Amino acid sequence: MSKRLTGNLTSKYMEAASRLHPGPDSKRKKVVCYVESYTDIFFWRSILDDFRHDGIEFEIMLPSRTDLSRGKKQAMMNTLGENLGKYMIACVDSDYDYLLQGSSPTSREMLTNPYVLHTYAYAIENYQCYAPSLHEVCVMSTLNDHKIFDFEEYMKLYSNIVYELFIWSVWLYRNNMYKEMPLNSFLGFVSVEKMNIMKPSDSLEDLRHRVNRKVAYMQRNYPKAKGKLTPLKMELERLGVTRDNTYLFIQGHHILENVVMAVMDPVCTQLRREREREIKSLANGRKQQMDNELASYNHSQCPIDQMIRRNTDFKDADLYQLLKRDIERLIDSILEVDKTDEQVASMEPTVSDGSVPLHFG
């Protein structure tokens, strides 16, 4: 038996604790959801709130209350492992493990364990950067609804440009050759540099040349991949990867910080200046009124980096429907167990005083 508390926490323990300490609503079963980092808590809460059920209550927690570091998926799954069940689950970023389709131990565990919910996108940041939602994020930040940049077209063009090199990256990881192009190296090739939102084509063309040079290098130096990349593309397409949405499967921090924020920062800056000019123009020289309105506007704004991390407007994404399906299956399995328990309890004989023996399931 493990000497550490985390080694003795199991789904059955959580189920028994829920029954012994039911709280104000004894009909609800508590499902403890472990996440990788404190920054993941809001994301998973915003999702699981959509699946509230009279018989189920989700509580999101960290495996450790003393360590807030990120990137702990493998360690968390190794620690919880066999202890996971209907009343204790793990909620993790997919990283590349969804696309590896079981070619690594972590990928196999994530994909085969029904009590591990994973994002399907690389990470939660990819959903927060969901292209159709980015204009709304700008509006939340600047309180200006003027559409001055086409985020959907930008993310589509970006995805198409990096797609071929992304396929090479997945192929290398699937064949345990990732050291030939480590993730950090790949991300260096697919960064957006010196973005001018008035002429984004310049930065995108620079990106295209950089990516094409690397793709040509890979084709020359890895001839054994010839004939294998096309079947891989077809398989990845079945998993949801297309030329238009590649950004959803590339490291989330990179997409957020080096692709999306590269345009959102200048877009929001321009929208704020536009609103300030409008306020000054409408003041017609009345300085006190102008100062009051500018102060009110400044106090009403929110930083764009905070707004994008609160973005939940991604739930119509095709990829999200896969996660939604997994959550629904989990809930169905929990309710099915509860139904079976009730049937068993109803068949138990009563004792002489008319009471029912204690039943712990």
pLDDT, tens digit, 9 for 90 and up, residues 272-325 = 999 999 999 898 889 898 989 999 999 999 999 999 999 999 999 999 999 999
- Secondary structure (3-state) at 202: helix
Which tokens belong to 181?
Answer: 């192009």
Look up tokens 């077209």; give the residue. 153
Pair 68, 37: CB distance under 8 Å: yes
pLDDT of res. 38 = 86
pTM score above 0.75: yes
Crossing angle of helices 151-174 and 229-238, rounded to 10°: 120
Q: What is the mean pLDDT of residues 218-222?
A: 96
User: How would you list the strands of the sheet with 29-35, edge to edge?
Assistant: 56-61, 29-35, 88-92, 116-118
Predicted confidence band at 242 (pLDDT cuts at 50, 70, 90)? Answer: very high
The torsion region of residue 182 among left (phi > 0), alpha (psi -120 to 50) and beta comes to: beta
